[in-house]
A and B are shown apart, each in its own frame.
Chain A
């Protein structure tokens, strides 16, 4: 009897324990859903609230506007002027310009270092490279922003002779420093996980080590390298403190890479503290937040799917 009672009690405890643990396991899922719901909830009035729609609509954020009667229609982001202007185009341009420079800078370095570390480096060399990259990843983005603002900007201005001290180039390079570790880690991981059997096959056919890399490792790991680049791009679009400090924050429409820019993320960071809770400007900033969230979500999802597929392929699972 006692034993039976004990068994029942312990079964109940097991059941409750598992349920408690599983509830916690859904925290990440609940977290991401809550973020989704609450960012969108605050952005929603832009579609529904008449008062806010008098001041700004999605259409007015996207297309050129004639802000003053008789003047040429243009794109402009000036939410605090007498005639509030909410064109997203200058911000979009700034975000893309910074990200392009960051990628031009970080893809060759990140992928190059990953190739060296996985294909050429000896064990000891690899034990130096990896912690160095980890250290780079550990630098807080506000410190990278500080570095770009105080030191890199002056250096670039003196070397190239720029008119604007803080510009897209400066912000893009600092952003690249934050992106390199992501690209390196994912790409290196993909190349080192190419199965030995593939390498052996090439060696058996008489290939030297570099030819093995060229014909076997790179083609097999290509999706992983691509995923690293995609995930790095997601970071470059969403990163805030670096661009906030290093880009000059002027919402200019221009193709030049040495003029100041203002990105989506920096706009939220710079303006949210001063807006009226629930007003038009507040709603627009949450709308921008929603755009950032959706965009990075899609990018990360595609990066992860590529990696999952690659992992299955390389481990030889086909179900």
Chain B
């Protein structure tokens, strides 16, 4: 309270000073300038979207979505990349969802917000969210492929070369799971905070234990938030390229991934390879724009669903 009073006094002094010495400025110029900033941002987003849409919409067809690449990526479709992306993010969600949800429950239901443990975990979550994605790629290579995969190979000493100690879809998915952990935790926490206290109190008053309350009251109530979290995580995971470059993504594969230790094709990585390493960029262009459009539509649709669920949740919270 003391600090706040201090700000208020200092602030009030400043206000009186400004009011005494400056002519009354209505803020028209700052209003105009900041509005310009908003308009520039919206215009840039529109330019990006329009260019990609116009460039790619002609390529989009059922054929394009359902066929493998042909003639060194200059013809055919992107089906293996779509399949690989979907398989990758599904594995990732299976790994990240339980851990993320339980972390959020622990932070919201078991600890006080200002306890040392909570602070430590919160700092870890925030920092995890800020680790550069390429560092996740290095980590996946050093930890999952070198340490875990290599370790499994050593224990089961396979003579036919590495089985698990090599780039594979499971290692890429686990690397992405760590990268998206903060996303899941943060949206689940937001959902947990919207649950009215009365519901929990009612459960305890009826003799429910903490675990029962979590299972029967809190988890069902938090479902929309958990769902939002997983969609946002999927959208983030589907767009990341740097973490999977060394941990499992392949330039071109004639088959779809069947086992957890297979490599896979992925939309984002496909875009990167086609855009930077194509021998004839003009010939690849239509397919390249089409692929970008597919990835963009995928992430935007996922985000749109997440935004809609979240705004409905916020309205519910406002009504309580």
Contact B126 A201 (CB under 8 A): no
Closest B residue to A173 using CB positions: B44
Name the A residues within 8 Å of B137 (CB-CB): 268-269, 272
Set B132, B181, B235, B271: member contacting A296, Cβ < 8 A: B132
Residues of B within 8 A of A32 (CB): 124, 127-128, 131
What does the 1/0 interface line of B1-21 toward A look like (CB < 8 Å)? Answer: 111100110011011101100
Contacts of A141 in B (CB 8 A): 133, 239-241
Q: Is the CB of A28 within 8 A of B182?
A: yes
Choose the segment among A35-43, A82-90, A254-262 that binds chain B (4+ C-beta atoms closer than 8 Å). A35-43
A29-B124, A120-B34 as given contacts; A318 in contact with B3, CB under 8 Å: yes
Interface on chain B toward A: helix, strand, loop, or mixed SS?
Answer: helix
In the assembled complex, A3 has its CB within 8 A of some CB on chain B = no
Task: Please name the residue on chain B nearest to A10 by beta carbon.
Answer: B209
Q: For B120, what are the chain A residues with a Cβ–Cβ distance below 8 Å?
A: 29
Min C-beta distance of A27 to chain B, whole Å: 5
Per the CB 8 Å criterion, the residue count for chain A at the interface is: 106
Per the 8 Å Cβ criterion, residues 191-228 of A in contact with B are 195, 197-198, 201-202, 205-211, 213-216, 219-220
The answer to whether A237 and B132 touch (CB under 8 A), given A25-B106, A28-B121, is yes
Residue of A at shortest CB range from B245? Answer: A269
- Least Cβ–Cβ distance between A209 and chain B, in angstroms: 7
Interface residue B139 (Cβ < 8 Å from any Cβ of A): yes
Instruction: Determine the chain B residues whose CB is within 8 A of the CB of A240 once the complex forms.
Output: 132-134, 241-242
- Cβ distance B292 to chain A, nearest Cβ, rounded Å: 6
* A147/B52 contact (C-beta < 8 A), A201-B15, A216-B15, A273-B246 known: yes
* Contact between B37 and A112, CB atoms less than 8 A apart: yes
Q: Within 8 Å of chain A (Cβ to Cβ): is B199? A: no
A interface footprint on B28-54 (CB within 8 Å = 1, 0 otherwise): 001101111110111011001001100
Binds A, one of B65-73, B151-159, B254-262, B296-304: B296-304
B27 pairs with A209, CB closer than 8 A: yes
Q: Are B239 and A143 in contact, with the CB atoms below 8 A?
A: yes
User: Nearest-CB distance from A144 to chain B (Å)?
Assistant: 8
Do B110 and A202 touch (CB < 8 A)? no
CB-CB nearest in chain B for A125: B38
Q: Mark A107-124, 1 if CB is under 8 A from B, else 0.
A: 011111101110111000
Q: Among B24, B41, B45, B300, which residue has the most Cβ atoms of chain A within 10 A?
A: B41
Which residues, 298 to 319 on A, are CB-close (under 8 Å) to B? 299-301, 303-304, 313-314, 316, 318
* Chain A residues in 8 Å Cβ range of B129: 300
User: With A135-B300, A177-B44, A289-B138 given, is the CB distance from A301 to B127 under 8 Å?
Assistant: yes
Of A12-20, A46-54, A69-77, the stretch lying at the interface with chain B is A12-20
- Flag whether B268 is at the interface (Cβ < 8 A): yes
Interface window among A57-65, A96-104, A126-134, A156-164: A126-134
Main secondary structure of the interface of A (DSSP, over half): helix
B128 & A143 in contact (Cβ 8 Å cutoff): no
Chain B neighbourhood of A244, CB < 8 A: 272, 276
With a cutoff of 8 Å between Cβ atoms, the chain B residues found around residue A220 in the complex are: 7, 11
Asked whether B19 lies within 8 Å of A289 as measured between CB atoms, the reply is no
> Which residues on the A side are within 8 Å of B105 (C-beta)?
21
- In this complex, what residue of A is CB-closest to B281? A150
A280 at the interface (CB under 8 A from B): no
Beyond A18-B110, A27-B181, whether A146 also contacts B303 by CB under 8 A is no
**A241 on the B face (CB < 8 A):** yes
Chain B, residue nearest A235 (CB): B130
CA A17 to CA B109, docked complex, whole Å? 13
Does A180 sit at the interface, judged by CB under 8 A?
A: yes
User: Which of B36, B44, B181 gathers the greatest number of chain A CB atoms within 10 Å?
Assistant: B44
Instruction: Name the residue of chain B whose CB is nearest to the CB of A234.
Output: B130
Q: Answer whether A205 and B16 are a contact pair too, CB < 8 Å, given A38-B139, A140-B240.
A: yes
CB distance from A30 to the nearest CB of B (A): 9
A135 to B235, CA, bound (A): 12
Could you say which of A34, A202, A209, A235 has the most chain B C-beta atoms within 10 Å of its C-beta? A202
> B210 at the A/B interface (Cβ < 8 Å)?
yes
7 sampled A-B residue pairs with Cβ under 8 A: A112-B36, A139-B239, A198-B11, A201-B12, A296-B135, A297-B130, A318-B3
Residues of A with Cβ closer than 8 Å to B? 10, 13-14, 17-18, 20-22, 24-29, 31-32, 34-35, 38-39, 41-42, 108-113, 115-117, 119-121, 129, 131-136, 138-147, 149-151, 177, 180, 195, 197-198, 201-202, 205-211, 213-216, 219-220, 231, 234-235, 237-241, 244-245, 265, 268-269, 272-273, 277, 285-286, 289, 292-293, 296-297, 299-301, 303-304, 313-314, 316, 318
